[in-house]
Structure 1
Amino acid sequence: MHLPPHLQRIADELTSAPLTALGLVDPAGLSREAVMMAKSFAAVTSMARQPAPGGSTPTSPKPASELQVELFQLFSNLFSAITGRAHELIDDEEEIRPLILSRVREQPSLFTSSINRAIEELEGFYQKYAMEIFRHAKTLGGMRLVTGGQRTFGPSALNAVRITGLYADTQFIPDPIYPFVGSNLSLNAVHLQLAIQLFYVLRLRPLVEAELPVAPVFVFPSFEEQLEERDAHTKLGIEQLAVRLLGPLCKGEVSSIEDVFDYALHHENAFLAALMSSGLFVAPGDQPNLVLPPTEAASRYLRALEGVRASDVLEEMKRLPTGVLLTNGVLERLRPQYHLLENASEIGAQPLLSQAAHWHYFEKISLASAMDLRSKDILSEQAFQTLRSIQDDSLSWLANIPVAMLADLLVNSEHRWFREELNKYTNQLATAGPIETNAMVREVSHGLSSLVQRQKKVLAEIERKYAPKKAAAVAGGFIGVSAAATATLLPSLAPLIATAVPAAAIAGAAWGYGREKVGEEVEKRQAAKSMLGVLATVRPAS
């Protein structure tokens, strides 16, 4: 702030004010004049950040679909720079670490220079197009979902995209690579973790390169780390969310996250008893509602961060009192949930999560905030519960559909047909009143079984259709063979027919049968490429 000399004391007062745990200015000791000045300055700053009105917003020289293709090409280049191999040639995450170690050991200079070059190219792309991509995300229509609740994009997130892609029109995915470029994430083995993120997000490339009229996936920068570091609105929102959930566990008045940490430190036993019984702490990788002693919960939390967090950060966390450590664990769960809700509001999409623990926190936040789980102007209750149901563990086989095959289904708009078909099976529940999740899972599972059974009937009908034709071709061929064989036994006809006739007749029979068999296989192959065929292919035998 640049203030005239007679107001310099206010500037000094503001700049010397203490900060809260999340970096916000603590106004408790400020004069009324300083508070009013800060509010005025914040209002002006907020107005300056608003996009220009009307049509004055600059337009991108490239369509959004082309920007997505370019972004994924840059992802691919960066992955190759780190591992020395194209992502298509790697089938398993376990292959990545040995490749990186080999490059570091055998080609250290090339390893460093190629990564720096690829990151510079990606950083230049973000600087030029990040805001444009985010703005375009707001313009897409249809059934729009935004994923979140986690900082990373791993196997569970990829499987969720595969499954939900069978039902939804567009899935917005916060760019998991953007934070590596613009922020210090305090990670251990950062190149390995970056390569793993790239490995999973690049599996979506066939959906991006299909360039459909409605994008099935849309990767956008969420700016989460920068907002947490610099944006007062974000810091305040996260603090209010944390206080709303953790405050009731503390006796007495709690108005800030400092109050929560202070209570957790000085009344540790009472706080931990309330925290563990509330279900608000879930260690990474654990299922919700797993009741553990606080010391065991802390051990699980720290073990999950081994090899992930930078060693100095992890050592500092190990020295924290248990109450403070577990409070930090809850905060780490709430931050991505806050950003998910913000993204959903900004883009106008329905929040969707991929793991039970993430749903657990989403429901806790919704209950504490008197907030509906679904956006009523985007999804019906029936559609929302169906989407949750197809992510149930019992239906995890749906994630076996290859992404390239999913892209083919979307090209033919089969996801809309699938949505309509499933709705037929869940409609009765939807019209009977509030929908119970387990009941919806049963109906969806029954619906999928019925669809697979329908595919079996389709294949059986194709076989019945071609069976008479194949039999006729074989019978006709063998009549010809018999006649030719008889003719060769008659001396008067033998010179006219010669010995080649039986072979030709047999070949004709084989050709007639083969032609019908090919027709049958073509129809079966076409049927297998439909949604019914794909479901029947990936569904495990019961």
Structure 2
Amino acid sequence: MKNENVFLAQIEKNQLFVAPGRKAGDSVCVAMEHYKSEMLRVRSQEWCDEYLNLPEVAIVINAVCERILPQFHLLENADELKSNPLLCIDSQAHYYQLVSSMKNSFISDFAKFDAQTTGIVSALNNTRLDFFSNIPYEQMIQIRTSNENVNIEFRKNLRELVNTLPTTKIDDLAHVSSEVCAYVEASVSKHKKEVETIKAKYKTKHTQTAIIGTASLAVAIYPVLAPFITGLGLMATGGKYINDKLEERNELKQASHSLMGVISLAKSK
């Protein structure tokens, strides 16, 4: 094979050669050692004599084909059932993601999807955002149905964020992922500050109500103070406290049910 070193470098760069029982990221050399060791353990002596004595490039090509070919059958079933498989073995999930990405790139070219959309979708799969999986399915439905304007705003902000990146960096998914993750985390922090602002606002109101209530109680105990403290009443004070408490509860509930509220709760789990 011509340019054998270039070929193996691309195999390593794109993490196409993953030995059984290993995670993506090994060099070709390390992956080869684990691959041969595993094949000697699980394959027949005849198979090993035939395939493990081939040139290194041939062994790599055969190993990659062995791992990728079954993925197309899995992808076909996923398409027919309109579902996504749940893969618990890291290497299998890695190869399925590679095949899916290849298919999605063809669809993107056909449907003329822009690079920003591809970058955002890939970024949202970053492990820093794994906490998204903590969001209950019911809340996802609620967000989708009752917070449509918020969802549109969130998507708009993500797109504007990615649009500010140079085109060359949009192709660098690691860079896009970092920027999107930072934006989501900053939005969660902003939401938490807004919640604290709501609590602080009503804490001040409750304190003022408590002061008024104390003055009203003083009048009740010492009627002689009535000329100095007028327009006050325990009933009115109690009513104001209840009303403020209900308003506070409503604002906090709206905040917790918002998109960022749900994401913030998922992140805290």
Distance 1:442 1:322 in 2: 46
Distance 2:225 2:212 in 1: 21
Q: Do the aligned partners of 1:294 and 1:322 also contact (CA within 8 Å) in 2?
A: no
Q: Do the aligned partners of 2:17 and 2:63 also contact (CA within 8 Å) in 1?
A: yes
Aligned partner of 2:157 in structure 1 is 421
Distance 1:333 1:522 in 2: 54
1:443 to 157, 167, 179: 179
1:187-202 matches, within 5 Å, as none
Aligned partner of 1:380 in structure 2 is 114
Q: Do the aligned partners of 2:71 and 2:95 also contact (CA within 8 Å) in 1?
A: no
Q: Is residue 539 of structure 1 aligned with residue 267 of structure 2?
A: yes
Q: Do the aligned partners of 1:473 and 1:509 also contact (CA within 8 Å) in 2?
A: yes
Q: Is residue 400 of structure 1 aligned with residue 134 of structure 2?
A: yes
AA at the equivalent of 2:172: E
AA at the equivalent of 2:258: S
Residues 423 and 276 from structure 1, CA distance in 2 versus in 1: closer, same or farther, beyond 3 angstroms? closer
AA at the equivalent of 1:330: V
Distance 2:32 2:10 in 1: 10
Distance 2:256 2:262 in 1: 6
Residues 480 and 390 from structure 1, CA distance in 2 versus in 1: closer, same or farther, beyond 3 angstroms? same
Distance 1:410 1:398 in 2: 15
Aligned partner of 1:518 in structure 2 is 246
Distance 1:276 1:298 in 2: 20
Deviation, 1:455, is 0.9
Deviation, 1:434, is 4.9
AA at the equivalent of 1:391: N
Q: Do the aligned partners of 1:301 and 1:329 also contact (CA within 8 Å) in 2?
A: no
Deviation, 1:489, is 10
Deviation, 1:469, is 3.1
Distance 2:67 2:40 in 1: 14
Distance 1:343 1:415 in 2: 31
In the alignment, structure 1 segments of 5+ residues that lack a partner are 1-247, 252-273, 304-314, 348-352, 491-503
AA at the equivalent of 2:142: D
Measured on the aligned residues, the alpha-carbon RMSD in Å equals 4.4
Distance 1:400 1:424 in 2: 27
Distance 1:341 1:301 in 2: 26
Q: Do the aligned partners of 2:123 and 2:176 also contact (CA within 8 Å) in 1?
A: yes
Q: Do the aligned partners of 2:209 and 2:237 also contact (CA within 8 Å) in 1?
A: yes
Distance 1:450 1:483 in 2: 50
Q: Under a length normalisation based on structure 1, what TM-score does the superposition of the two structures give? A: 0.36
1:446 counterpart SS class: helix
Q: Is residue 296 of structure 1 aligned with residue 31 of structure 2?
A: no
Q: Do the aligned partners of 2:119 and 2:171 also contact (CA within 8 Å) in 1?
A: yes
Distance 2:10 2:48 in 1: 19
1:27-57 per-residue CA deviation (whole Å, 9 max, x = no partner) reads xxxxxxxxxxxxxxxxxxxxxxxxxxxxxxx
Residues 374 and 299 from structure 1, CA distance in 2 versus in 1: closer, same or farther, beyond 3 angstroms? farther
Deviation, 1:530, is 0.8
Q: Is residue 335 of structure 1 aligned with residue 62 of structure 2?
A: no
Deviation, 1:483, is 0.5
2:145 to 411, 425, 429: 411
In the alignment, structure 2 segments of 5+ residues that lack a partner are 53-58, 82-86, 227-232
2:179 counterpart SS class: helix
1:60-459 matches, within 5 Å, as 278-279=11-12, 280-284=16-20, 286-291=22-27, 292=30, 294-300=32-38, 317-319=43-45, 320-321=47-48, 324=51, 329-339=63-73, 355-360=93-98, 372=105, 375-376=108-109, 377=111, 379-412=113-146, 413=148, 414-429=150-165, 434-459=170-195
Q: Is residue 470 of structure 1 aligned with residue 206 of structure 2?
A: yes
Deviation, 1:301, is 7.1
1:45-64 matches, within 5 Å, as none
1:350-393 per-residue CA deviation (whole Å, 9 max, x = no partner) reads xxx99544445667x68xxxx94661316321111111111122
Deviation, 1:525, is 1.7
Residues 462 and 301 from structure 1, CA distance in 2 versus in 1: closer, same or farther, beyond 3 angstroms? farther
Residues 489 and 387 from structure 1, CA distance in 2 versus in 1: closer, same or farther, beyond 3 angstroms? closer
AA at the equivalent of 2:108: S
Q: Which protein has the bigger helix share? A: 2
Residues 487 and 339 from structure 1, CA distance in 2 versus in 1: closer, same or farther, beyond 3 angstroms? same
Distance 1:397 1:445 in 2: 12
Residues 378 and 479 from structure 1, CA distance in 2 versus in 1: closer, same or farther, beyond 3 angstroms? farther
1:96-132 per-residue CA deviation (whole Å, 9 max, x = no partner) reads xxxxxxxxxxxxxxxxxxxxxxxxxxxxxxxxxxxxx
1:41-86 per-residue CA deviation (whole Å, 9 max, x = no partner) reads xxxxxxxxxxxxxxxxxxxxxxxxxxxxxxxxxxxxxxxxxxxxxx
**How much identity, in percent, do the aligned residues show?**
25
Q: Under a length normalisation based on structure 2, what TM-score does the superposition of the two structures give? A: 0.66
Residues 460 and 288 from structure 1, CA distance in 2 versus in 1: closer, same or farther, beyond 3 angstroms? same
Residues 300 and 429 from structure 1, CA distance in 2 versus in 1: closer, same or farther, beyond 3 angstroms? farther
Q: Do the aligned partners of 1:283 and 1:301 also contact (CA within 8 Å) in 2?
A: no
2:161 counterpart SS class: helix
2:165 counterpart SS class: helix
Aligned partner of 2:223 in structure 1 is 487
Distance 1:410 1:302 in 2: 52
Deviation, 1:439, is 1.5
